Amino acid sequence: MNAAAIEKTELNKILSLAAGYCTLEGSKLRMHALQPSSSLSEVKKSLKLTEECVCLLFEHGVSKIEHFPPFSDELERSKKGSALSCGELLSVGNLLRAVRIAHTSITSVNDEAIVLVKEIANRLYFNAALEDDITAKILNDSEVSDYASDKLYSLRKEIRSINERIRARLSEYLSGAEGKYLQDGIVTMRNNRYVLPVKAEYKRNIKGFIHDRSATGATFFIEPEEVLEMNNELRSLMIDEREEVERILSELSRRVGMMANELQLAILLLEELDCLYAKAEYGYKTHSVLPTVNDRGLIEISRGRHPLIDPKKVVPVSLSLGKGYRFLLISGPNTGGKTVTLKMVGLFCMMAMCGLFIPANEATVSVFEEVYCDVGDAQSIEESLSTFSSHIKNVIEITERANQNCLVLIDELGGGTDPDEGQALAKAIVSHLIQTGCTGVVTTHYSALKEYAFATDGIENACMEFDSSTLQPLYVMKIGLPGSSNALAISRRLGLKDSILADAMSCLSEGAQAFEHIVRSAEESRIQAEKALLEVEKVKTEWQEKLQAVEKERERLQKEREKLLSSAKAESRRIINERSADAEELLAEMEKIFAKEQLSESDLIAARTLKNRLGDLAYDTQSEELVRPQYLPADVKALKVGDTVYVSRINDSGTIQSIRPQKNEAEVLCGNLRLRVKISELSVLVEPKAEKKGEKLPKWKRKQSASPVQVSKSLAPRPIPSLEINVIGKTVLDAIPEVEAFLDAAVLSGLEEVRIVHGMGTGKLRAGIHEYLRKCKNVAEFRLGHYGEGETGVTIVKIK
């Protein structure tokens, strides 16, 4: 990819921002040097890697790469047998730790979608034993731990012991009679040996070895004879200690050298993973999405946001390119966002080609072999290039190199010269580029070029919207219509005198004025139409919400109605069952009386009494008018506000609120619901007229007269339903059918509460019965018995 396109689209700034999320110095350098790939398979793989890293970081909580200092030649020196210093070995230890954490954190994730990153992680080689040894034996950049080896521990223990003995003996000089010979009351060291600072005039009073003299000659540093041997022993132990430390460092360095090649590969792999994590984090922080990529020149961006503009100020832009046309001609006012949109198209394509996500709601971009970009002023005094010359130089290169696999971005094509020649040249260049089959975006103010886009296949007009009322750009792109430059309107907003503006308007040709007026009017009409469409959509949404609320209320009322009907049926069934049971009991008593061979007067009186009681059980049908209402289809001409009607849609009645004959509908109030209903769905209640003398009413209007009670003798009276069933000792399979039959009988008998005795036992029978009761539609609720009711051995069931 050419460097000019990377710089003009500001991809280098995006890579710099992404590099800020890298942990390793080497990763940052790799990110800055990243180049867009023109291979579709490589781009898909790169984007898949970034997608997997987003999943690892923000779904599975995998940690990023641990930091370790950059390596220069340490691994090469260890491979050749050189011993590394403590600091260098600590750096190797940090590298080993970073490799181990990266490997284990990735491979331990149980997600089938993580494939490519696991392949990288599986290539990481680490040595946990060497890492532990380095961490345990090296304390800091210059010190080895006492516990690095048994010998080192023993040597340092002896060194500390001799040091204490030497200091103790020298302390006797400081506090004893020899103290008057000393210059200072301290013990010092010369040539790594403990000495005493003795005054020059008393140097012969202290027997020992003179190591040094002060610069003034007033002090001699003497090693007393009594500590000479101890100093010699200390020196010998320190030499042994140094040799042991060197041996330990050499051994660790040898082990590092044995895996130097693997560590060098691990560094490269960790830098690659660090770059991938940085891409993932940058995409996550910028709310970017995984783009769909192709190599057919298809670009579709939904609400794309330029990543270098403040997120609080950026206005999302949507555009489409490559379906039916491969060139987009963007026009509109200055400062309206044309150049930003043009650069955003190239930037998004190259970001995807680098494996970066795109800041948009949805994005489809194409992979190109090359991106050619002519944006901005590249005039050069040294090369004697004007603005126009620099642009034409770039355009010449583009026209010579562009092909069907390239993306061309040209800002203000043909600008910087005579307008007539400039727009003619621009039209010819665009025509040539369309013939090459390349994909491109061009910005312009030329009317001739806008007209050309109207009449030519393969290129489409697009405009950046401008609010003529506030004279402000809206930074919104609309495809299909050209945009007006609004140069005079913008100049007026910025404060240019009206007299100058009027003079400028008079200088415009009639054709130019007419074209700009048409474009501006079309743009204003489109904006108003879109606003109206938004209002319509808003009203539509509100009505849909209201209709949903009405539907919910209708369903609620329907359920309430069904519930009331079910309760009424159950109550009537209970009353009938009670009265039937009483009647059967009275009949049974009468049978006993008539079963006697001889009936006395008292028996007849008792039988008559029982008959009267049986008559009292009959329904008082004279008090009930079984008049069935009649409904007739509603007539729009006969309906009036306030009439009561029946609404078939909701199976309920309501009151007419208003009538719309022209639409053949009416507004009906049903309870709290206000409905708009077709007249064909309404029925009118017909009230029965009073019966005149001699007039015979229809059967459905008549009052039903009471009929005498007919007493019949039943030889097989119905048994009184049982309130309890005992299933103790039965299995669940045997008990459930009996319980089911028992509950059916209870429902038919109108019982409200029954009892199932299942015993305590192992609890399996109780659990099976409870499971059946939960699914039974006739059961309102059930519970275990309370104290005195049988407790956990009994279940009390309430019938619906």
- In tens, the pLDDT along 188-246 reads 777 778 888 888 777 777 777 787 888 777 888 878 877 788 888 888 998 999 999 99
Q: What is the mean pLDDT of residues 288-295?
A: 94
Q: How far apart are CA 730 and CA 726, in angstroms?
A: 9
Asked if residues 387 and 379 have their Cβ atoms less than 8 Å apart, the reply is yes
Let me know the angle formed at the C-alpha of 36 by 33 and 41, rounded to the nearest 5 degrees: 130
Q: Does residue 144 register a pLDDT over 80? A: yes
Let me know the angle formed at the C-alpha of 141 by 135 and 147, rounded to the nearest 5 degrees: 45
Asked if residues 117 and 45 have their Cβ atoms less than 8 Å apart, the reply is no
- In tens, the pLDDT along 411-428 reads 888 777 777 888 889 899
**What are phi and psi for residue 128, nearest 5 degrees?**
-65, -35
**What are phi and psi for residue 715, nearest 5 degrees?**
-80, -20
Asked if residues 519 and 483 have their Cβ atoms less than 8 Å apart, the reply is yes
Residue 287 CA to its chain's centroid (Å) = 10
CA atoms lying within 13 Å on the CB side of residue 112: 0
Q: What is the mean pLDDT of residues 115-139?
A: 92
**Type of residue numbered 215:** A
pLDDT confidence of 463, banded at 50, 70, 90? confident
Q: In what order do the strands lie in the sheet with 370-374?
A: 370-374, 406-410, 439-443, 325-331, 458-467, 472-479
Query: Which range has highest mean pLDDT (202-206, 431-435, 510-514, 619-623)?
Result: 431-435
Q: Does residue 108 register a pLDDT over 80? A: yes
Our CA dihedral for 709, 711, 714, 720, rounded to 10 degrees, sits at 50
Residue 200: per-residue pLDDT: 79
The two tokens of residue 611 are 């008959």
The two tokens of residue 422 are 């400039």
490 or 379, which is more confident: 490
Residue 337: per-residue pLDDT: 80
Residue 454 CA to its chain's centroid (Å) = 42
Residue 517: per-residue pLDDT: 56
* Range name among 43-57, 244-258, 376-390, 672-686 with the lowest pLDDT average: 376-390
Q: Which of 39, 23, 155 is nearest to 95 (CA)?
A: 23
DSSP state of 262: H
pLDDT confidence of 492, banded at 50, 70, 90? low
Residue 541 CA to its chain's centroid (Å) = 26
Residue 487: per-residue pLDDT: 60
Q: What is the mean pLDDT of residues 149-161?
A: 92
Query: Which range has highest mean pLDDT (48-57, 156-165, 220-229, 728-737)?
Result: 48-57
Q: Which of 322, 342, 324 is nearest to 332 (CA)?
A: 342
Q: Which of 345, 342, 341 is nearest to 297 (CA)?
A: 345
Q: How many CB atoms lie within 10 A of CB 549?
A: 11
Name 631's bridge partners: 685
Q: Does residue 516 register a pLDDT over 50? A: yes
Q: In what order do the strands lie in the sheet with 682-686?
A: 630-633, 682-686, 644-647, 652-660, 665-670, 673-678
- In tens, the pLDDT along 536-550 reads 888 888 888 888 888
Residue 519: per-residue pLDDT: 58
CA atoms lying within 13 Å on the CB side of residue 196: 33
- In tens, the pLDDT along 682-715 reads 888 766 554 444 444 444 444 444 444 444 444 4
Let me know the angle formed at the C-alpha of 514 by 512 and 517, rounded to the nearest 5 degrees: 105
The two tokens of residue 312 are 């609080």
Helices and strands counted in the chain (H then E): 21, 26
Residue 493: per-residue pLDDT: 64
Q: Which of 96, 170, 95 is nearest to 130 (CA)?
A: 96
| Contacts of 113 by beta carbon, 8 Å cutoff, 6+ apart | 52, 55
Q: How many CB atoms lie within 10 A of CB 327?
A: 21
Q: How far apart are CA 217 and CA 225, in angstroms?
A: 22
Q: What is the mean pLDDT of residues 635-659?
A: 83
Q: What is the mean pLDDT of residues 747-754?
A: 81
Grouping H, G, I as helix, E, B as strand and the rest as coil, residue 413 is: coil
Q: What is the mean pLDDT of residues 643-651?
A: 79
Name 683's bridge partners: 633, 646
Widest CA span of the chain, in angstroms?
166
Asked if residues 459 and 430 have their Cβ atoms less than 8 Å apart, the reply is yes
* Mean pLDDT for all residues in the chain: 82
Give me the long-range contacts of 628-635 (CB less than 8 A, separation at least 24): 628/700, 629/685, 629/686, 630/685, 630/686, 630/688, 630/700, 631/683, 631/684, 631/685, 631/686, 632/683, 632/684, 632/686, 633/680, 633/682, 633/683, 633/684, 634/679, 634/682, 634/683, 634/684, 635/684
- In tens, the pLDDT along 333-389 reads 776 788 889 999 999 999 999 999 999 999 999 999 999 998 875 544 344 345 777
Residue 693: per-residue pLDDT: 45
DSSP state of 61: -
CA distances from 720 to 448, 584, 592, 605, 724 (A): 101, 10, 18, 27, 12
Q: How far apart are CA 315 and CA 312, in angstroms?
A: 9
* Range name among 4-13, 166-175, 697-706 with the lowest pLDDT average: 697-706
Residue 488: per-residue pLDDT: 60
Q: What is the mean pLDDT of residues 667-687?
A: 81
Grouping H, G, I as helix, E, B as strand and the rest as coil, residue 521 is: helix
Q: Does residue 134 register a pLDDT over 90? A: yes
Burial class (CB in 10 A: 0-12, 13-18, 19+), 213: middle
Residue 763: per-residue pLDDT: 85
**Type of residue numbered 61:** G
